[in-house]
C-alpha cells in the first residue's frame, strides 16, 4: 500500500519565523523538511510539500492545499523559541487533540529526537493553529529544538542528517512501514563542508508537482480548480476566515486538555510552543462566542476582480445552479446553496466536485 505524507516547512518569504542572531527559522524548517522528504521518498512514501522554496504560504492555504489530496499524515516542521535565550531547550510536538493517530506520531517524533540528545518536552494540545485545526488528516507540528538555544542549534547542525533520519523513522513507524537503510546517516564522521552540502541537497524533481508547481503563482490546476485560469484568491491567503468544520476534522473541542506531562502548572515548559503567532487560526478567534444557528454555503471562488466572479456565476447559472456574489471587503465570494446541516452541504459539494468545480464549504454561526 502506497502512503502519502505532506511535509510543511513552517514560515517562509517575509515570515521569517523565530530569529536568533541572524539565524532564521524559515531556513532551518525548509532544510529539514526537504531532507526528511528525501528519506521518506527513498523508502517508498509519496511525499508532498507545502513549499520547497523561500516563499510565503499562509497557514490556511497550507491546510487547504493539504486537504486537496488524500494523505495519511501532515507534519509541520518548526523550531521553537523562548522569551529569554538559552533558557529552554528540547523538542515538543503539538496536536489538535489526543484522541486520533496524531498522538502516536507525536510520541514517536519526540522519542526518536530524544534519543539524539534533545530534551523531550512532551506533547501539547493546540486547537488554535490553522495547520492542525484545518487539516482533515492526522497532523502534528513538531518543534525541533529551540532556535535561541545555543546547545540546541549545535545539536541541530552537527547531527542534522541523524535528525532528518529520526523524523523520517518516526513517520515510517507511525505508518507501519519498516524503515530500510535508505537515507540512514553513515557512522563515519563527516566534515563540515559535506554536512552543509547535505543541508543544501537538491531534490532533482522528486517532489510532486501538485505541491511544488511554481509557488510564485503558477499553481497546478488541481489547486486552482480549473477556474478558467483565474487563480482563486483563497490561494493568496485571503480566505477571510470562511473555512468549514470539515477542515476541523469534526473533532471535539479540547481546549486546555494538555497531556499529563504538560499539565503541571509548576512545569517551566508548560507554556512552550506559544510563539507561533503567525500560525494562529484567526477565524477560530473571531468565531468564538457567536450564538447564532450555523448554516452552510458552498463557496466556489473568491476574487479580487468582480468581473471574474460574475463570469463564474454565469457559468454556474448555465449549468443549472443558483449562485450569488457576496462582498467580503475588497473581495467577491461566489456561493451557492444554504444548508442547515454539514451532511447536506457535503453531499452537494461532492456533486459539484464531480463536475470539476473547486469548492469550499463555509459556515456561518457558532463553531
Where are the extended beta strands (E) located within the chain?
A: 4-9, 19-20, 23-24, 46-49, 73-80, 91-95, 120-125, 139-146, 295-303, 323-328, 331-339, 360-364
* Separation between Cα atoms, residue 358 and residue 313, nearest integer Å: 13
Please give the torsion angle defined by the CA atoms of residues 255, 258, 264 and 268, in that order, rounded to the nearest 10 degrees.
-100
* Separation between Cα atoms, residue 280 and residue 349, nearest integer Å: 27
Asked about 222 being catalytic, the answer comes back as no
| CA within 13 Å, CB half, 364 | 11
Pick the catalytic residue from 143, 234, 276, 349. 143
* Separation between Cα atoms, residue 182 and residue 130, nearest integer Å: 33
Phi-psi region of 294 (alpha: psi -120 to 50; beta: other; left: phi over 0): beta
> Which residues are marked as active site?
143
Amino acid at each position: 500500500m502506497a502512503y502519502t505524507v505532506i511535509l510543511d516547512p513552517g514560515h517562509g518569504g517575509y515570515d521569517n519565523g523565530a530569529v536568533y542572531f541572524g539565524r532564521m527559522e524559515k531556513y532551518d524548517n525548509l532544510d529539514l523538511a526537504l531532507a526528511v522528504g528525501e528519506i521518506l521518498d527513498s523508502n517508498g512514501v509519496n511525499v508532498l510539500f507545502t513549499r520547497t522554496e523561500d516563499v510565503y504560504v499562509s497557514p490556511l492555504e497550507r491546510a487547504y492545499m493539504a486537504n486537496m489530496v488524500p494523505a495519511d499524515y501532515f507534519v509541520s516542521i518548526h523550531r521553537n523559541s523562548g522569551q529569554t535565550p538559552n533558557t529552554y531547550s528540547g523538542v515538543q510536538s503539538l496536536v489538535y487533540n489526543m484522541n486520533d493517530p496524531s498522538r502516536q506520531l507525536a510520541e514517536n517524533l519526540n522519542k526518536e529526537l530524544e534519543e539524539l540528545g534533545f530534551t523531550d518536552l512532551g506533547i501539547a494540545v493546540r486547537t488554535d493553529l490553522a495547520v492542525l485545526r484545518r487539516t482533515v488528516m492526522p497532523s502534528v507540528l513538531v518543534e525541533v529544538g529551540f532556535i535561541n538555544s545555543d546547545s540546541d542549534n549545535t545539536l541541530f547542525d552537527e547531527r542534522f542528517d541523524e535528525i532528518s533520519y529520526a523524523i523520517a523513522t518516526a513517520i515510517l513507524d507511525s505508518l507501519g512501514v519498516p524503515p530500510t537503510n535508505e537515507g540512514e546517516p553513515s557512522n563515519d564522521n563527516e566534515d563540515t563542508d559535506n554536512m552543509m552540502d547535505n543541508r543544501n541537497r537538491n531534490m532533482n524533481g522528486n517532489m510532486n508537482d501538485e505541491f511544488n508547481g511554481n509557488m510564485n503563482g503558477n499553481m497546478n490546476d488541481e489547486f486552482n480548480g480549473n477556474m478558467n485560469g483565474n487563480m482563486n484568491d483563497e490561494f493568496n491567503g485571503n480566505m477571510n476566515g470562511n473555512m468549514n468544520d470539515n477542515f476541523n476534522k469534526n473533532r471535539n473541542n479540547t481546549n486546555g486538555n494538555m497531556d499529563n506531562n504538560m499539565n503541571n502548572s509548576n512545569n517551566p515548559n508548560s507554556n512552550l510552543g506559544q510563539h507561533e503567532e503567525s500560525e494562529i487560526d484567526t477565524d477560530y478567534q473571531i468565531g468564538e462566542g457567536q450564538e447564532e444557528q450555523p448554516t452552510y454555503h458552498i463557496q466556489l471562488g473568491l476574487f479580487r476582480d468582480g468581473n471574474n466572479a460574475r463570469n463564474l456565476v454565469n457559468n454556474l447559472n448555465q449549468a443549472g445552479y443558483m449562485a450569488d456574489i457576496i462582498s467580503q471587503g475588497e473581495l467577491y465570494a461566489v456561493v451557492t446553496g444554504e444548508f442547515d446541516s454539514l451532511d447536506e452541504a457535503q453531499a452537494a459539494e461532492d456533486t459539484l466536485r464531480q463536475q470539476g468545480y473547486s469548492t469550499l464549504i463555509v459556515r456561518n454561526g457558532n463553531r
